[in-house]
Amino acid sequence: MTTTTYLDFEKPVAELEGKVEELRRLAATGDSGSITEEVSKLEEKAKQLLRDTYAKLTPWQKTQVARHPERPHFLDYVHALIQDFTPLAGDRAYADDKAILGGLGSFRGRPVMVIGHEKGNDTKSRLRHNFGMAMPDGYRKSIRLMTMAERFNLPIITLVDTSGAYPGVSAEERGQAEAIARSTERCLTLTVPIVSVIIGEGGSGGAVALATADRVIMLEHSIYSVISPEGCSSILWKSSAKAQDAAAAMKITAQDLFQLRVIDSIVAEPVGGAHRNRERAMEDAGDAVDLALTELDQLPPEVLRKTRWDKYLAIGRVGLA
């Protein structure tokens, strides 16, 4: 897939790829000859520039890539990786939240429960899914689906992509904090495997509620943080203008979090980000999930739960005797 939306730091790449497209159109008119050779040279130059650019992204630039509008979202992954997906709706208490979706399906021959955030891919769908910011009903739905998966001994795959839980008054009135805490607790007490993939943004408790897993996998250019860089900047500097500084200070990248042992593995993205080759990115993420589930299959239920519990108790104790 050829991206049509360039990020700020990709402007030099955009200029080169624009020239390539212009020369291709010129060659198509019949005046080819030396133009074909020039196109090949410019294409290679653009590819090398893209490789060089993405080899040294700053945390803020990774944040921009994680939020790219053409990056694959939950429903894209479901379509690519899950066969016979049957969506399950509602929390059986108040409503069906569209920011968190879930259901039953088959992942590479094994029945699974899949739950995740959906941001939407255009104005209409983004509004319908509330930009992936869930209400309490969404987390109560996730608890219901996790409990169902445990009852039928099904592994759980969660796909995390949210800037955070919805912070509005209506969410607080219905117990947002309690719903997030209960969902996190349900993750910890499960006796079936749970594997989480941070496919874009993993923001605050809204992400942790689905990502307290046996294995937490991050795509190379995704982010995972206690608060958005803009939010952190607003609190510390009373302005969102220092979001870049906040992103660097918070250690929100997959590479930093792997070193801190907050996550378990990183999935390399195609050069230029997952949005440049969506099919390959999703397939590679699927390979990582498959490997994790195969490893977890070997653990008895009680050992699985205790290992998961110990894993989260150990976070923050790195280097302490």
How far apart are alpha carbons 260 and 30 in whole angstroms?
57
- pLDDT at residue number 321: 42
Query: Phi/psi at 162 (nearest 5 deg)?
Result: -150, 145
Q: Are 236 and 246 in contact (CB under 8 A)?
A: yes
- pLDDT at residue number 159: 98
- pLDDT at residue number 36: 72
pLDDT tens profile 42-54: 888 889 999 999 9
Domain ranges for the chain: 16-56, 63-314
The hierarchical CATH code for the domain 63-314 is 3.90.226.10
- The residue among 32, 228, 270 whose CA lies nearest residue 132 is 228
User: pTM for the full model?
Assistant: 0.91
* pLDDT one digit per residue (tens) for the chain, 321 residues: 455 789 999 999 999 888 888 877 776 666 555 677 777 788 888 899 999 999 999 999 999 999 999 999 999 999 999 999 999 999 999 999 999 999 999 999 999 999 999 999 999 999 999 999 999 999 999 999 999 999 999 999 999 999 999 999 999 999 999 999 999 999 999 999 999 999 999 999 999 999 999 999 999 999 999 999 999 999 999 998 999 999 999 999 999 999 999 999 999 999 999 999 999 999 999 999 999 999 999 899 999 999 999 999 988 775 554
- pLDDT at residue number 209: 97
pLDDT tens profile 278-318: 999 999 999 999 999 999 998 999 999 999 999 999 887 75
